[in-house]
């Protein structure tokens, strides 16, 4: 509850998530609080749950779009590379990739993989390094988790697929330990 001009204003949490905190220069959790005074809406603010700083809501939607472009390109290339990693293009992996790409509004023609495979594998390391400069840790993790879902879609997690995920993780700044934890989580959720 806040004090505005001697009257008690009500603060209601209307959203939660993670963002790149401008103060801490790292990913942190946040809440969006809506302020109401005597049934009059006064606005909203973002509260960093880590450092306690308050920001205007626009901090959650930066006006430059390199993050969205990087995310789309990284999704399409990494997911394509996962499909061709073991040298076989399998329909269950294609179907999973299409589903994941649609979920993130990424438009990529998966049917060009046979002709596009050299470009995909050749550009992947550069794209992932670039993406790591623009994407939050949560987005980079989402990329690797999606790659694991694709690798497991045909119920065969091959060494080539595991190596590709490990290399992708390193290109995006994950440590070996962090990548190992992701593999452990994926194995645990597959069993559960």
Instruction: Give pLDDT tens digits for 67-104.
Output: 555 677 778 778 888 888 888 888 899 889 888 888 87
Predicted pLDDT of residue 192 = 53
- Position 4 confidence tier, pLDDT thresholds 50, 70, 90: very low
Residues 79, 36 share a domain:
no
Q: Is residue 178 scored above 50 in pLDDT?
A: yes
Residues 137, 56 share a domain:
no
Q: What percent of the chain has pLDDT over 90?
A: 8
**Average pLDDT, stretch 50-77?**
71
Residues 7, 39 share a domain:
yes
**Average pLDDT, stretch 120-124?**
64
- Position 3 confidence tier, pLDDT thresholds 50, 70, 90: very low
How many folded domains does the chain comprise? 2
CB 174 within 8 A of CB 131: no
Residues 176, 119 share a domain:
yes
Cα–Cα distance for residue pair 6/17, rounded to 1 Å: 32
Q: Is residue 61 scored above 70 in pLDDT?
A: no
**Dihedral sign, Cα of residue 19, residue 128, residue 161, residue 115:** positive
Point out the domain boundary residue: 38, 60, 82.
60
Q: Which residue has the higher pLDDT, 80 or 135?
A: 80
Cα–Cα distance for residue pair 187/166, rounded to 1 Å: 15
**Average pLDDT, stretch 34-45?**
79
Least confident of 30-34, 64-68, 89-93, 122-126: 64-68
Residues 70, 28 share a domain:
no
Residues 185, 117 share a domain:
yes
**Average pLDDT, stretch 51-65?**
73
How many C-beta atoms surround the C-beta of residue 147 within 10 A?
26
- Domain encompassing residue 115: 66-191
Point out the domain boundary residue: 11, 39, 60.
60
Predicted pLDDT of residue 33 = 86
Q: Is residue 159 scored above 80 in pLDDT?
A: yes
**Average pLDDT, stretch 15-40?**
82
Q: Is residue 184 scored above 70 in pLDDT?
A: yes
Point out the domain boundary residue: 60, 87, 110.
60
What does DSSP assign to residue 112? G
């Amino acid at each position: 509850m806040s004090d505005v001009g001697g009257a008690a204003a009500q603060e209601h949490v209307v959203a939660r998530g993670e963002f790149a905190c401008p103060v801490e220069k790292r990913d942190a959790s946040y809440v969006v609080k809506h302020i109401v005074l005597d049934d009059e809406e006064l606005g909203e603010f973002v509260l960093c749950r880590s450092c306690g700083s308050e920001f205007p809501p626009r901090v959650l939607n930066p006006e430059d779009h390199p993050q969205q472009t990087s995310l789309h390109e990284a999704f399409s290339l990494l997911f394509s590379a996962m499909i061709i990693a073991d040298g076989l293009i399998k329909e269950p992996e294609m179907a999973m990739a299409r589903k994941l790409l649609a979920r993130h509004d990424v438009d990529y023609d998966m049917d060009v993989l046979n002709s596009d495979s050299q470009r995909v594998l050749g550009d992947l390391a550069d794209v992932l390094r670039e993406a790591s400069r623009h994407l939050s840790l949560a987005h980079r993790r989402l990329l690797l988790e999606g790659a694991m879902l694709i690798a497991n879609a045909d119920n065969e997690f091959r060494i080539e697929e595991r190596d590709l995920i490990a290399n992708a993780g390193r290109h995006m700044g994950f440590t070996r330990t962090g990548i190992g934890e992701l593999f452990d989580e994926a194995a645990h959720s597959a069993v559960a």
